[in-house]
Structure 1
Amino acid sequence: MKQAGSGEKGASMGRLEDLQSFVRIVETRSFSAGARLVGSSKSALSKQISRLEAELGTRLLHRSTRSLSPTPEGQAVYERALRLLDDAQALDAELRDRREQPRGLLRLSTSTSFGNLQLTALLAGFCRQHPQLQVVLGLNDRYLDLAEEGFDVVLRLTGAPSPGLVARRLAPIHYRLCASPAYLAEAGRPETVAELTTHRCLRFGYLQAPERWRFRHVSSGQEDSVDVQGALRFESGLTVNSSESLRVATLAGLGIAVLPSYAVGGDLREGRLVQLLPDWRPISGIAEANTLYAVYLPNRQPSTKVRALIDYLLEQLGELPPWDREPAPQPAT
Protein backbone atom coordinates (compact mmCIF):
# COMPACT_ATOMS: atom_id res chain seq x y z
CA MET A 1 0.00 0.00 0.00
CA LYS A 2 1.26 3.49 -0.78
CA GLN A 3 1.84 5.96 2.02
CA ALA A 4 -1.23 7.66 3.42
CA GLY A 5 0.05 11.03 2.27
CA SER A 6 -0.01 9.81 -1.29
CA GLY A 7 -3.66 8.82 -0.88
CA GLU A 8 -4.51 12.26 0.52
CA LYS A 9 -2.78 13.89 -2.43
CA GLY A 10 -4.79 11.75 -4.83
CA ALA A 11 -8.01 12.71 -3.03
CA SER A 12 -7.08 16.37 -3.21
CA MET A 13 -6.57 16.00 -6.95
CA GLY A 14 -10.08 14.86 -7.66
CA ARG A 15 -10.62 11.55 -5.87
CA LEU A 16 -13.07 12.74 -3.21
CA GLU A 17 -15.95 11.27 -5.20
CA ASP A 18 -14.17 7.90 -5.35
CA LEU A 19 -13.56 8.03 -1.60
CA GLN A 20 -17.18 8.94 -0.95
CA SER A 21 -18.35 5.97 -3.01
CA PHE A 22 -15.91 3.71 -1.17
CA VAL A 23 -17.24 4.92 2.21
CA ARG A 24 -20.82 4.22 1.17
CA ILE A 25 -19.93 0.69 0.00
CA VAL A 26 -18.18 -0.08 3.28
CA GLU A 27 -21.09 1.26 5.32
CA THR A 28 -23.77 -0.60 3.36
CA ARG A 29 -21.65 -3.73 2.61
CA SER A 30 -23.14 -3.59 -0.89
CA PHE A 31 -22.32 -2.09 -4.28
CA SER A 32 -26.00 -1.86 -5.11
CA ALA A 33 -26.98 -0.07 -1.89
CA GLY A 34 -23.94 2.20 -2.11
CA ALA A 35 -24.85 3.13 -5.67
CA ARG A 36 -28.35 4.14 -4.60
CA LEU A 37 -26.95 6.38 -1.85
CA VAL A 38 -24.60 8.27 -4.17
CA GLY A 39 -27.07 8.34 -7.06
CA SER A 40 -24.98 6.23 -9.42
CA SER A 41 -24.94 2.74 -10.90
CA LYS A 42 -23.37 -0.45 -9.58
CA SER A 43 -21.01 -0.68 -12.55
CA ALA A 44 -19.91 2.94 -12.15
CA LEU A 45 -19.09 2.34 -8.47
CA SER A 46 -17.15 -0.78 -9.35
CA LYS A 47 -15.03 1.26 -11.77
CA GLN A 48 -14.45 3.93 -9.10
CA ILE A 49 -13.21 1.35 -6.59
CA SER A 50 -10.94 -0.28 -9.17
CA ARG A 51 -9.51 3.14 -9.98
CA LEU A 52 -8.98 3.90 -6.30
CA GLU A 53 -7.29 0.55 -5.66
CA ALA A 54 -5.00 1.08 -8.67
CA GLU A 55 -4.05 4.55 -7.43
CA LEU A 56 -3.37 3.40 -3.88
CA GLY A 57 -1.66 0.22 -5.01
CA THR A 58 -3.58 -2.09 -2.71
CA ARG A 59 -6.74 -4.12 -2.49
CA LEU A 60 -9.44 -2.36 -0.45
CA LEU A 61 -12.32 -4.86 -0.38
CA HIS A 62 -12.85 -8.55 0.18
CA ARG A 63 -15.48 -9.63 -2.35
CA SER A 64 -17.50 -12.82 -2.42
CA THR A 65 -20.92 -13.84 -3.73
CA ARG A 66 -22.41 -13.47 -0.23
CA SER A 67 -20.38 -10.81 1.55
CA LEU A 68 -18.33 -7.67 1.09
CA SER A 69 -15.98 -6.21 3.69
CA PRO A 70 -12.91 -3.96 3.82
CA THR A 71 -9.41 -5.38 3.93
CA PRO A 72 -7.17 -4.10 6.74
CA GLU A 73 -5.78 -1.55 4.28
CA GLY A 74 -9.33 -0.74 3.19
CA GLN A 75 -10.36 -0.14 6.80
CA ALA A 76 -7.48 2.32 7.22
CA VAL A 77 -8.48 4.12 4.01
CA TYR A 78 -12.12 4.17 5.17
CA GLU A 79 -11.22 5.85 8.48
CA ARG A 80 -8.97 8.39 6.75
CA ALA A 81 -11.62 9.02 4.07
CA LEU A 82 -14.22 9.86 6.74
CA ARG A 83 -11.97 12.63 8.07
CA LEU A 84 -11.20 13.92 4.59
CA LEU A 85 -14.88 14.03 3.64
CA ASP A 86 -15.79 15.77 6.90
CA ASP A 87 -13.08 18.38 6.25
CA ALA A 88 -14.30 18.86 2.68
CA GLN A 89 -17.89 19.30 3.86
CA ALA A 90 -16.82 21.82 6.50
CA LEU A 91 -14.81 23.76 3.93
CA ASP A 92 -17.74 23.79 1.52
CA ALA A 93 -20.05 25.08 4.26
CA GLU A 94 -17.54 27.80 5.21
CA LEU A 95 -17.15 28.95 1.61
CA ARG A 96 -20.90 28.91 1.11
CA ASP A 97 -21.35 30.97 4.27
CA ARG A 98 -18.79 33.48 3.02
CA ARG A 99 -20.59 33.74 -0.30
CA GLU A 100 -23.83 34.38 1.53
CA GLN A 101 -22.41 36.99 3.92
CA PRO A 102 -24.04 40.37 3.28
CA ARG A 103 -21.73 42.67 1.42
CA GLY A 104 -21.89 45.76 -0.73
CA LEU A 105 -24.21 48.72 -0.19
CA LEU A 106 -27.34 48.68 1.97
CA ARG A 107 -29.48 51.78 1.51
CA LEU A 108 -31.75 52.26 4.49
CA SER A 109 -34.11 55.06 5.54
CA THR A 110 -36.29 55.93 8.51
CA SER A 111 -37.79 58.97 10.22
CA THR A 112 -35.48 61.68 11.50
CA SER A 113 -36.39 61.30 15.17
CA PHE A 114 -36.31 57.50 15.29
CA GLY A 115 -33.05 57.46 13.36
CA ASN A 116 -31.36 59.99 15.62
CA LEU A 117 -32.73 58.70 18.91
CA GLN A 118 -32.59 54.93 18.41
CA LEU A 119 -31.62 53.45 15.06
CA THR A 120 -28.16 54.96 14.63
CA ALA A 121 -27.01 53.47 17.93
CA LEU A 122 -28.57 50.10 17.07
CA LEU A 123 -26.76 50.04 13.73
CA ALA A 124 -23.37 50.15 15.45
CA GLY A 125 -23.68 46.51 16.45
CA PHE A 126 -25.01 45.54 13.03
CA CYS A 127 -22.05 47.16 11.28
CA ARG A 128 -19.63 45.34 13.59
CA GLN A 129 -21.29 42.02 12.72
CA HIS A 130 -21.10 42.69 8.98
CA PRO A 131 -17.87 44.56 8.23
CA GLN A 132 -18.17 43.89 4.48
CA LEU A 133 -21.47 45.75 4.32
CA GLN A 134 -21.60 49.50 3.72
CA VAL A 135 -24.74 50.93 5.36
CA VAL A 136 -26.04 54.24 4.05
CA LEU A 137 -28.71 55.65 6.39
CA GLY A 138 -30.99 58.40 5.17
CA LEU A 139 -33.23 60.20 7.65
CA ASN A 140 -36.38 61.67 6.17
CA ASP A 141 -39.87 62.51 7.40
CA ARG A 142 -41.51 62.50 3.97
CA TYR A 143 -43.00 59.49 2.20
CA LEU A 144 -40.35 57.65 0.18
CA ASP A 145 -40.83 55.64 -3.00
CA LEU A 146 -38.47 52.68 -2.59
CA ALA A 147 -38.32 51.82 -6.27
CA GLU A 148 -37.83 55.39 -7.45
CA GLU A 149 -35.29 56.41 -4.83
CA GLY A 150 -33.32 53.18 -4.68
CA PHE A 151 -33.71 52.21 -1.04
CA ASP A 152 -33.28 48.54 -0.14
CA VAL A 153 -35.44 48.83 2.97
CA VAL A 154 -37.29 51.54 4.90
CA LEU A 155 -38.22 51.41 8.58
CA ARG A 156 -41.66 52.96 8.96
CA LEU A 157 -43.61 53.83 12.06
CA THR A 158 -47.22 53.30 11.06
CA GLY A 159 -50.44 51.55 11.95
CA ALA A 160 -51.06 50.39 8.38
CA PRO A 161 -48.17 49.58 6.00
CA SER A 162 -48.55 50.70 2.40
CA PRO A 163 -50.04 48.14 -0.01
CA GLY A 164 -47.74 46.78 -2.66
CA LEU A 165 -44.78 46.39 -0.30
CA VAL A 166 -43.62 43.57 1.92
CA ALA A 167 -43.88 44.65 5.56
CA ARG A 168 -42.14 42.84 8.43
CA ARG A 169 -43.32 43.81 11.90
CA LEU A 170 -40.34 44.61 14.12
CA ALA A 171 -41.68 46.12 17.36
CA PRO A 172 -44.60 47.95 18.96
CA ILE A 173 -44.38 51.72 19.43
CA HIS A 174 -45.96 53.11 22.61
CA TYR A 175 -46.86 56.71 23.39
CA ARG A 176 -46.92 58.74 26.59
CA LEU A 177 -48.80 61.89 27.52
CA CYS A 178 -46.20 63.94 29.33
CA ALA A 179 -45.06 67.35 30.53
CA SER A 180 -42.11 68.86 32.35
CA PRO A 181 -42.13 69.35 36.12
CA ALA A 182 -41.73 73.10 35.51
CA TYR A 183 -44.87 73.24 33.39
CA LEU A 184 -46.88 71.23 35.95
CA ALA A 185 -45.69 73.50 38.76
CA GLU A 186 -46.98 76.46 36.78
CA ALA A 187 -50.21 75.07 35.30
CA GLY A 188 -51.16 72.19 37.56
CA ARG A 189 -51.51 68.51 36.76
CA PRO A 190 -54.55 67.27 34.80
CA GLU A 191 -56.31 64.34 36.47
CA THR A 192 -58.85 63.59 33.71
CA VAL A 193 -58.92 63.69 29.93
CA ALA A 194 -61.44 66.53 30.05
CA GLU A 195 -59.06 68.71 32.04
CA LEU A 196 -56.67 68.84 29.09
CA THR A 197 -58.89 71.60 27.65
CA THR A 198 -57.46 73.97 30.25
CA HIS A 199 -53.82 73.22 29.33
CA ARG A 200 -51.44 74.16 26.58
CA CYS A 201 -51.33 71.04 24.41
CA LEU A 202 -48.43 70.82 21.99
CA ARG A 203 -49.36 69.18 18.74
CA PHE A 204 -47.51 67.09 16.20
CA GLY A 205 -48.40 67.37 12.54
CA TYR A 206 -48.02 69.09 9.24
CA LEU A 207 -49.83 72.29 8.27
CA GLN A 208 -53.06 70.93 9.76
CA ALA A 209 -52.41 69.45 13.19
CA PRO A 210 -55.36 67.51 14.67
CA GLU A 211 -57.32 69.47 17.27
CA ARG A 212 -58.90 66.41 18.91
CA TRP A 213 -56.94 63.90 20.97
CA ARG A 214 -58.43 60.45 21.56
CA PHE A 215 -57.56 58.06 24.36
CA ARG A 216 -58.43 54.49 25.32
CA HIS A 217 -58.51 53.27 28.93
CA VAL A 218 -55.91 50.52 29.38
CA SER A 219 -58.19 48.39 31.58
CA SER A 220 -61.78 48.97 30.49
CA GLY A 221 -61.16 49.79 26.83
CA GLN A 222 -63.42 52.85 27.19
CA GLU A 223 -62.57 55.69 24.81
CA ASP A 224 -62.55 59.41 25.52
CA SER A 225 -61.54 62.46 23.51
CA VAL A 226 -60.88 66.14 24.01
CA ASP A 227 -60.46 69.21 21.81
CA VAL A 228 -57.07 70.80 22.29
CA GLN A 229 -55.74 74.20 21.25
CA GLY A 230 -52.07 74.13 20.38
CA ALA A 231 -49.88 76.67 22.10
CA LEU A 232 -47.40 76.06 19.27
CA ARG A 233 -49.43 76.36 16.08
CA PHE A 234 -46.30 76.20 13.91
CA GLU A 235 -47.54 78.94 11.62
CA SER A 236 -45.61 81.67 9.74
CA GLY A 237 -44.08 79.13 7.35
CA LEU A 238 -42.69 76.75 10.02
CA THR A 239 -44.01 73.21 10.19
CA VAL A 240 -42.76 70.77 12.82
CA ASN A 241 -43.33 67.09 12.17
CA SER A 242 -40.50 65.68 14.27
CA SER A 243 -40.85 63.99 17.62
CA GLU A 244 -37.46 65.42 18.53
CA SER A 245 -38.69 69.00 18.18
CA LEU A 246 -41.86 68.20 20.11
CA ARG A 247 -39.76 66.64 22.87
CA VAL A 248 -37.54 69.73 23.10
CA ALA A 249 -40.60 71.98 23.37
CA THR A 250 -42.04 69.77 26.12
CA LEU A 251 -38.75 69.71 28.04
CA ALA A 252 -38.69 73.51 27.81
CA GLY A 253 -41.99 73.66 29.70
CA LEU A 254 -44.11 74.91 26.83
CA GLY A 255 -46.96 72.48 27.46
CA ILE A 256 -48.25 68.90 27.37
CA ALA A 257 -47.50 66.55 24.45
CA VAL A 258 -48.09 63.01 23.24
CA LEU A 259 -44.65 61.55 22.52
CA PRO A 260 -43.28 58.10 21.63
CA SER A 261 -41.56 56.25 24.43
CA TYR A 262 -38.48 55.75 22.23
CA ALA A 263 -38.04 59.55 22.39
CA VAL A 264 -38.85 60.20 26.06
CA GLY A 265 -38.15 56.93 27.89
CA GLY A 266 -34.94 58.27 29.39
CA ASP A 267 -36.54 61.62 30.23
CA LEU A 268 -39.32 59.89 32.16
CA ARG A 269 -36.89 57.64 34.05
CA GLU A 270 -34.64 60.58 34.95
CA GLY A 271 -37.53 62.85 35.97
CA ARG A 272 -37.03 65.44 33.25
CA LEU A 273 -40.58 64.65 32.11
CA VAL A 274 -43.61 63.30 33.97
CA GLN A 275 -46.13 60.87 32.49
CA LEU A 276 -49.72 62.08 32.81
CA LEU A 277 -52.95 60.05 32.86
CA PRO A 278 -51.08 56.70 32.79
CA ASP A 279 -54.38 54.77 32.70
CA TRP A 280 -55.24 56.35 29.34
CA ARG A 281 -53.42 55.36 26.15
CA PRO A 282 -53.22 57.93 23.32
CA ILE A 283 -54.66 56.45 20.11
CA SER A 284 -54.98 59.34 17.65
CA GLY A 285 -52.72 61.69 15.74
CA ILE A 286 -49.07 60.79 16.17
CA ALA A 287 -50.09 57.77 18.29
CA GLU A 288 -51.65 56.08 15.24
CA ALA A 289 -48.11 55.18 14.17
CA ASN A 290 -48.07 52.35 16.70
CA THR A 291 -45.82 49.77 15.03
CA LEU A 292 -42.32 49.70 13.58
CA TYR A 293 -42.15 47.88 10.24
CA ALA A 294 -39.37 47.06 7.82
CA VAL A 295 -40.78 47.48 4.32
CA TYR A 296 -39.16 46.49 1.05
CA LEU A 297 -40.11 45.82 -2.54
CA PRO A 298 -41.93 42.52 -3.18
CA ASN A 299 -39.15 40.62 -4.91
CA ARG A 300 -39.27 36.85 -4.89
CA GLN A 301 -36.82 36.74 -1.97
CA PRO A 302 -35.35 39.61 0.06
CA SER A 303 -31.65 40.08 -0.48
CA THR A 304 -29.11 38.67 1.96
CA LYS A 305 -28.32 42.12 3.29
CA VAL A 306 -32.01 42.97 3.91
CA ARG A 307 -32.58 39.61 5.65
CA ALA A 308 -29.53 40.22 7.82
CA LEU A 309 -30.80 43.65 8.91
CA ILE A 310 -34.31 42.40 9.68
CA ASP A 311 -33.00 39.42 11.67
CA TYR A 312 -30.70 41.71 13.64
CA LEU A 313 -33.46 44.20 14.47
CA LEU A 314 -35.88 41.44 15.48
CA GLU A 315 -33.24 40.11 17.86
CA GLN A 316 -32.48 43.55 19.31
CA LEU A 317 -36.05 44.85 19.64
CA GLY A 318 -38.81 42.30 20.27
CA GLU A 319 -42.12 42.93 22.01
CA LEU A 320 -40.36 44.94 24.72
CA PRO A 321 -37.92 47.20 22.86
CA PRO A 322 -34.86 48.42 24.75
CA TRP A 323 -36.26 51.94 25.21
CA ASP A 324 -39.24 50.47 27.13
CA ARG A 325 -37.15 48.22 29.38
CA GLU A 326 -36.30 49.04 32.92
CA PRO A 327 -32.58 49.68 33.28
CA ALA A 328 -30.59 46.90 34.91
CA PRO A 329 -29.84 47.57 38.60
CA GLN A 330 -26.36 48.85 39.21
CA PRO A 331 -24.13 46.71 41.46
CA ALA A 332 -23.58 48.07 44.93
CA THR A 333 -20.25 49.79 45.46
Structure 2
Amino acid sequence: MRHHPVEDHDHLTDKQFAAIVQIVEGRVGIKLPQTKRIMVEGRLRKRVRVLGLQNLAVYGDLLFRQNGLETELVHLIDCVTTNKTDFFREPSHFAFLRDVAVPELIRQHGGPRVGLKLWSAASSTGAEAYTIAMVLQDMIAAGAPIQYAVLGTDISTEVLKTAREAIYAQDFVAPVPAAMQARYFMRSRDPKEQRVRIVPELRRCVQFERLNLMDESYPFDRDVDVIFCRNVLIYFDKPTQEAVIARLVSHLRPGGYLMLGHSESMAGAECDRVKAVSPTIYRTVLTSQPRRAAA
Protein backbone atom coordinates (compact mmCIF):
# COMPACT_ATOMS: atom_id res chain seq x y z
CA MET A 1 0.00 0.00 0.00
CA ARG A 2 1.44 3.36 -1.02
CA HIS A 3 1.84 5.93 1.76
CA HIS A 4 0.79 9.53 1.07
CA PRO A 5 2.28 12.08 3.48
CA VAL A 6 -0.25 14.22 5.30
CA GLU A 7 0.09 17.89 4.45
CA ASP A 8 1.01 19.94 7.53
CA HIS A 9 -1.09 23.10 7.62
CA ASP A 10 0.39 24.38 10.90
CA HIS A 11 3.14 26.25 9.10
CA LEU A 12 3.37 29.48 7.14
CA THR A 13 3.86 29.16 3.42
CA ASP A 14 7.09 30.53 1.99
CA LYS A 15 5.12 33.42 0.55
CA GLN A 16 3.42 34.21 3.87
CA PHE A 17 6.71 34.12 5.78
CA ALA A 18 8.36 36.37 3.19
CA ALA A 19 5.47 38.84 3.49
CA ILE A 20 5.75 38.89 7.29
CA VAL A 21 9.52 39.44 7.05
CA GLN A 22 8.94 42.39 4.73
CA ILE A 23 6.26 43.89 6.98
CA VAL A 24 8.31 43.57 10.18
CA GLU A 25 11.46 45.01 8.60
CA GLY A 26 9.52 47.87 7.02
CA ARG A 27 7.49 48.79 10.09
CA VAL A 28 9.91 47.97 12.92
CA GLY A 29 13.33 47.74 11.26
CA ILE A 30 13.99 44.24 12.61
CA LYS A 31 15.39 41.67 10.21
CA LEU A 32 14.01 38.12 10.34
CA PRO A 33 16.28 35.77 8.40
CA GLN A 34 15.20 32.28 7.42
CA THR A 35 16.96 30.96 10.53
CA LYS A 36 14.30 32.72 12.62
CA ARG A 37 11.39 31.03 10.85
CA ILE A 38 10.84 28.30 13.45
CA MET A 39 10.88 30.94 16.22
CA VAL A 40 8.41 33.14 14.34
CA GLU A 41 6.03 30.27 13.70
CA GLY A 42 6.24 29.15 17.31
CA ARG A 43 5.32 32.60 18.59
CA LEU A 44 2.53 33.04 16.06
CA ARG A 45 0.96 29.74 17.11
CA LYS A 46 0.20 31.36 20.47
CA ARG A 47 -1.69 34.08 18.61
CA VAL A 48 -3.49 31.40 16.57
CA ARG A 49 -4.75 29.84 19.81
CA VAL A 50 -5.87 33.21 21.19
CA LEU A 51 -7.92 33.82 18.04
CA GLY A 52 -9.35 30.31 18.12
CA LEU A 53 -8.07 29.52 14.63
CA GLN A 54 -7.31 26.04 13.37
CA ASN A 55 -3.67 26.52 12.39
CA LEU A 56 -1.04 28.87 10.96
CA ALA A 57 -2.29 28.38 7.41
CA VAL A 58 -5.66 29.84 8.46
CA TYR A 59 -3.88 32.69 10.23
CA GLY A 60 -1.91 33.43 7.06
CA ASP A 61 -5.15 33.55 5.10
CA LEU A 62 -6.58 35.93 7.69
CA LEU A 63 -3.64 38.29 7.24
CA PHE A 64 -3.24 38.26 3.49
CA ARG A 65 -6.49 37.04 1.93
CA GLN A 66 -9.14 38.31 4.34
CA ASN A 67 -7.78 41.84 4.89
CA GLY A 68 -6.99 41.07 8.52
CA LEU A 69 -3.53 42.66 8.52
CA GLU A 70 -4.70 46.14 9.50
CA THR A 71 -6.34 45.01 12.75
CA GLU A 72 -3.80 42.25 13.42
CA LEU A 73 -0.60 44.24 12.77
CA VAL A 74 -0.01 45.29 16.39
CA HIS A 75 -0.44 41.70 17.58
CA LEU A 76 1.82 40.40 14.81
CA ILE A 77 4.57 42.79 15.88
CA ASP A 78 4.03 41.84 19.53
CA CYS A 79 4.57 38.20 18.65
CA VAL A 80 7.73 38.47 16.59
CA THR A 81 9.71 41.15 18.43
CA THR A 82 12.25 39.89 20.94
CA ASN A 83 11.84 41.19 24.48
CA LYS A 84 14.81 39.94 26.45
CA THR A 85 15.24 41.91 29.65
CA ASP A 86 16.47 41.54 33.21
CA PHE A 87 16.75 43.66 36.33
CA PHE A 88 20.25 45.16 36.62
CA ARG A 89 21.25 43.84 33.20
CA GLU A 90 24.74 45.15 32.36
CA PRO A 91 25.16 46.48 35.94
CA SER A 92 28.10 48.76 35.12
CA HIS A 93 25.66 51.19 33.52
CA PHE A 94 23.69 51.54 36.75
CA ALA A 95 26.90 52.00 38.74
CA PHE A 96 27.86 54.77 36.28
CA LEU A 97 24.41 56.33 36.68
CA ARG A 98 24.80 56.38 40.47
CA ASP A 99 28.48 57.29 40.77
CA VAL A 100 29.09 59.58 37.79
CA ALA A 101 26.06 60.65 35.74
CA VAL A 102 23.70 61.79 38.50
CA PRO A 103 26.38 63.64 40.51
CA GLU A 104 27.48 65.39 37.29
CA LEU A 105 23.90 66.29 36.44
CA ILE A 106 23.32 67.66 39.93
CA ARG A 107 26.35 69.93 39.54
CA GLN A 108 25.25 70.93 36.06
CA HIS A 109 21.67 71.76 36.99
CA GLY A 110 22.30 73.55 40.26
CA GLY A 111 19.48 74.59 42.56
CA PRO A 112 18.32 73.15 45.87
CA ARG A 113 16.51 70.20 44.26
CA VAL A 114 17.25 68.83 40.81
CA GLY A 115 14.56 67.29 38.61
CA LEU A 116 15.85 64.53 36.35
CA LYS A 117 14.21 62.95 33.31
CA LEU A 118 15.29 59.47 32.29
CA TRP A 119 14.13 57.36 29.38
CA SER A 120 14.28 53.60 28.89
CA ALA A 121 13.88 53.51 25.12
CA ALA A 122 13.38 49.76 24.71
CA SER A 123 11.79 49.00 28.05
CA SER A 124 10.23 45.61 27.36
CA THR A 125 8.44 44.42 30.53
CA GLY A 126 9.84 47.27 32.61
CA ALA A 127 12.85 45.75 34.37
CA GLU A 128 15.26 48.41 33.08
CA ALA A 129 12.97 51.33 33.90
CA TYR A 130 12.30 50.08 37.42
CA THR A 131 16.01 49.35 37.96
CA ILE A 132 16.72 53.00 37.13
CA ALA A 133 14.05 54.06 39.61
CA MET A 134 15.45 51.84 42.36
CA VAL A 135 18.94 53.29 41.91
CA LEU A 136 17.62 56.85 42.06
CA GLN A 137 15.34 56.14 44.99
CA ASP A 138 18.29 54.75 46.95
CA MET A 139 20.23 57.92 46.13
CA ILE A 140 17.37 60.04 47.46
CA ALA A 141 17.31 57.97 50.66
CA ALA A 142 21.04 58.66 51.00
CA GLY A 143 20.45 62.42 50.72
CA ALA A 144 20.81 63.18 47.02
CA PRO A 145 18.87 66.42 46.22
CA ILE A 146 16.93 65.00 43.30
CA GLN A 147 13.49 64.13 42.10
CA TYR A 148 12.95 62.11 38.97
CA ALA A 149 10.60 60.78 36.32
CA VAL A 150 11.30 57.70 34.23
CA LEU A 151 9.70 57.05 30.84
CA GLY A 152 9.68 53.53 29.42
CA THR A 153 8.78 52.94 25.77
CA ASP A 154 8.45 49.83 23.64
CA ILE A 155 6.70 48.82 20.45
CA SER A 156 5.01 45.78 22.02
CA THR A 157 1.67 46.43 23.69
CA GLU A 158 1.89 43.10 25.52
CA VAL A 159 5.15 43.85 27.30
CA LEU A 160 3.94 47.35 28.15
CA LYS A 161 0.91 45.85 29.86
CA THR A 162 3.22 43.77 32.05
CA ALA A 163 5.40 46.81 32.74
CA ARG A 164 2.44 48.88 33.92
CA GLU A 165 1.17 46.07 36.14
CA ALA A 166 4.71 45.69 37.56
CA ILE A 167 4.08 42.11 38.69
CA TYR A 168 6.93 39.65 38.22
CA ALA A 169 7.84 36.08 39.07
CA GLN A 170 10.01 35.81 42.17
CA ASP A 171 12.77 34.13 40.19
CA PHE A 172 12.81 36.98 37.67
CA VAL A 173 13.80 39.57 40.29
CA ALA A 174 16.70 37.48 41.61
CA PRO A 175 19.36 39.89 40.17
CA VAL A 176 18.02 42.69 42.41
CA PRO A 177 20.12 43.02 45.61
CA ALA A 178 18.35 41.64 48.68
CA ALA A 179 18.14 45.04 50.39
CA MET A 180 16.46 46.56 47.34
CA GLN A 181 14.09 43.62 47.08
CA ALA A 182 13.01 44.27 50.66
CA ARG A 183 12.44 47.98 50.00
CA TYR A 184 10.93 47.98 46.54
CA PHE A 185 8.90 44.77 46.13
CA MET A 186 5.64 43.70 47.74
CA ARG A 187 5.07 40.00 48.25
CA SER A 188 1.84 38.07 48.23
CA ARG A 189 0.44 37.00 51.59
CA ASP A 190 0.05 33.55 50.09
CA PRO A 191 3.50 31.88 50.22
CA LYS A 192 2.51 29.66 47.28
CA GLU A 193 2.15 32.76 45.11
CA GLN A 194 5.70 33.16 43.83
CA ARG A 195 5.16 36.66 42.50
CA VAL A 196 6.12 40.16 43.60
CA ARG A 197 5.04 43.67 42.66
CA ILE A 198 6.91 46.96 42.48
CA VAL A 199 5.88 49.25 45.35
CA PRO A 200 3.57 52.20 44.53
CA GLU A 201 6.32 54.66 45.49
CA LEU A 202 8.31 53.59 42.42
CA ARG A 203 5.36 52.95 40.11
CA ARG A 204 4.26 56.57 40.52
CA CYS A 205 7.61 57.75 39.14
CA VAL A 206 7.63 55.48 36.07
CA GLN A 207 5.27 55.68 33.12
CA PHE A 208 5.12 53.59 29.96
CA GLU A 209 4.13 54.51 26.41
CA ARG A 210 4.12 52.68 23.10
CA LEU A 211 6.75 53.88 20.61
CA ASN A 212 8.17 52.55 17.38
CA LEU A 213 11.82 53.62 17.20
CA MET A 214 11.43 53.57 13.41
CA ASP A 215 9.06 56.56 13.57
CA GLU A 216 10.46 59.73 12.03
CA SER A 217 9.93 61.69 15.25
CA TYR A 218 9.23 60.90 18.90
CA PRO A 219 6.49 62.80 20.78
CA PHE A 220 8.52 63.25 23.97
CA ASP A 221 10.46 65.98 25.76
CA ARG A 222 13.74 67.22 24.33
CA ASP A 223 15.38 67.94 27.67
CA VAL A 224 15.97 64.37 28.81
CA ASP A 225 18.97 63.83 31.10
CA VAL A 226 19.70 60.13 30.50
CA ILE A 227 18.53 57.74 27.78
CA PHE A 228 19.07 54.00 28.00
CA CYS A 229 18.78 52.33 24.57
CA ARG A 230 20.39 48.96 25.06
CA ASN A 231 20.35 45.73 23.10
CA VAL A 232 17.83 46.83 20.50
CA LEU A 233 20.04 48.49 17.88
CA ILE A 234 21.64 45.11 17.15
CA TYR A 235 18.41 44.11 15.37
CA PHE A 236 18.63 47.07 12.94
CA ASP A 237 20.80 47.61 9.89
CA LYS A 238 23.45 50.34 10.06
CA PRO A 239 21.44 53.17 8.42
CA THR A 240 18.53 52.49 10.78
CA GLN A 241 20.88 52.41 13.77
CA GLU A 242 22.30 55.80 12.79
CA ALA A 243 18.84 57.32 12.30
CA VAL A 244 17.56 56.03 15.65
CA ILE A 245 20.63 57.25 17.51
CA ALA A 246 20.34 60.69 15.88
CA ARG A 247 16.71 60.98 16.94
CA LEU A 248 17.46 59.87 20.49
CA VAL A 249 20.37 62.30 20.83
CA SER A 250 18.07 65.13 19.71
CA HIS A 251 15.99 64.49 22.85
CA LEU A 252 18.94 64.88 25.23
CA ARG A 253 19.65 68.17 26.93
CA PRO A 254 23.25 69.49 26.72
CA GLY A 255 25.31 67.38 29.09
CA GLY A 256 22.84 64.49 28.91
CA TYR A 257 23.89 60.87 28.66
CA LEU A 258 23.12 58.09 26.17
CA MET A 259 23.80 54.50 27.22
CA LEU A 260 23.94 51.75 24.61
CA GLY A 261 24.26 47.99 25.00
CA HIS A 262 27.73 46.50 25.38
CA SER A 263 27.50 44.96 21.91
CA GLU A 264 26.49 48.27 20.29
CA SER A 265 28.17 51.52 19.29
CA MET A 266 27.32 54.99 18.06
CA ALA A 267 28.00 53.85 14.49
CA GLY A 268 29.19 57.36 13.62
CA ALA A 269 25.82 59.03 14.19
CA GLU A 270 25.69 62.54 15.64
CA CYS A 271 29.38 62.47 16.54
CA ASP A 272 29.49 66.27 16.53
CA ARG A 273 26.97 66.40 19.37
CA VAL A 274 28.26 63.66 21.64
CA LYS A 275 31.51 62.27 22.92
CA ALA A 276 32.31 58.91 24.47
CA VAL A 277 32.92 59.09 28.22
CA SER A 278 33.10 55.33 28.74
CA PRO A 279 32.62 52.26 26.52
CA THR A 280 28.99 52.41 25.26
CA ILE A 281 28.30 55.60 27.27
CA TYR A 282 28.11 58.96 25.50
CA ARG A 283 27.49 62.53 26.64
CA THR A 284 26.10 65.43 24.65
CA VAL A 285 28.33 68.46 24.38
CA LEU A 286 27.77 71.06 27.07
CA THR A 287 26.92 74.63 26.10
CA SER A 288 27.80 77.82 27.90
CA GLN A 289 24.13 78.61 28.51
CA PRO A 290 23.02 78.53 32.15
CA ARG A 291 20.98 75.52 33.17
CA ARG A 292 17.46 75.94 34.46
CA ALA A 293 17.01 74.53 37.98
CA ALA A 294 14.00 72.28 38.47
CA ALA A 295 11.28 73.38 40.83
The TM-score bracket by the shorter chain reads: under 0.3
Task: Specify which structure has the bigger relative contact order, considering alpha-carbon pairs within 8 angstroms and separated by 6 or more residues.
Answer: 1
After TM superposition, the score normalised by the length of structure 2 is 0.26
After TM superposition, the score normalised by the length of structure 1 is 0.24
Structure with max Cα Rg: 1
